[in-house]
Amino acid sequence: MLVTGASRGIGAATARMAAARGWDVVVNYANNSGAADAVVAECEAAGARATAVQADVGDEAQVLALFAAVAEFGPLACLVNNAGILHPQSPLAEFSVERLAEVTRVNVIGATLCVREAVRAMSTERGGSGGTIVNVSSAAAYLGSPNEYIDYAATKGALDTLTVGLAKEVARQGIRVNAVRPGLIETDIHASGGMPDRVERLAHLIPMGRGGRPDEVAETILFLASDASSYVTGALLDVSGGR
Ligand code: NAP
Alpha helices in 21-109 (DSSP H): 33-45, 60-73, 97-104
- pLDDT for 92: 98
- Would you call 231 a catalytic residue per the annotation? no
Task: Supply the DSSP symbol for 136.
Answer: E
Best residue among 53, 64, 82, 135 to mutate for probing ligand 1, ranked by most atoms within 8 Å of CB: 82
| pLDDT confidence of residue 177 | 99
Output the residue whose Cα is nearest ligand 1's atom 19: 56
- Give nearest CA residue, ligand 1 atom 3: 189
Between CA 100 and CA 106 the distance in angstroms is: 10
Helix (H) or strand (E) holding 223, with range, is helix 214-225
Residue 160 burial by Cβ neighbours in a 10 Å radius (0-12, 13-18, 19+): middle
What pLDDT was estimated at residue 208?
98
d(CA 139, CA 48): 32
pLDDT at 133: 99
pLDDT at 146: 98
Instruction: Work out whether the CA dihedral 87, 210, 234, 134 comes out positive or negative.
Output: positive
Which residue spans within the chain are E strands per DSSP? 2-3, 25-29, 50-54, 78-81, 131-136, 175-182, 236-239
220 lines ligand 1 (CB under 6 A): no
In the predicted model, residues of the chain with pLDDT beneath 50 are none
- What is the predicted pLDDT for the residue at 54? 98
- Cβ contacts of 112 within 8 Å, gap of 6 or more: 162
| Average pLDDT of the residues of the chain | 98
Testing ligand 1's pocket by substitution, the residue of 8, 62, 64, 135 carrying the most ligand atoms inside 8 A of its CB is 8
Which one, of 119, 223, 133, lies nearest residue 173 by Cα?
119
Please state, in angstroms and rounded to a whole number, the distance separating the CA atoms of residues 225 and 18. 9
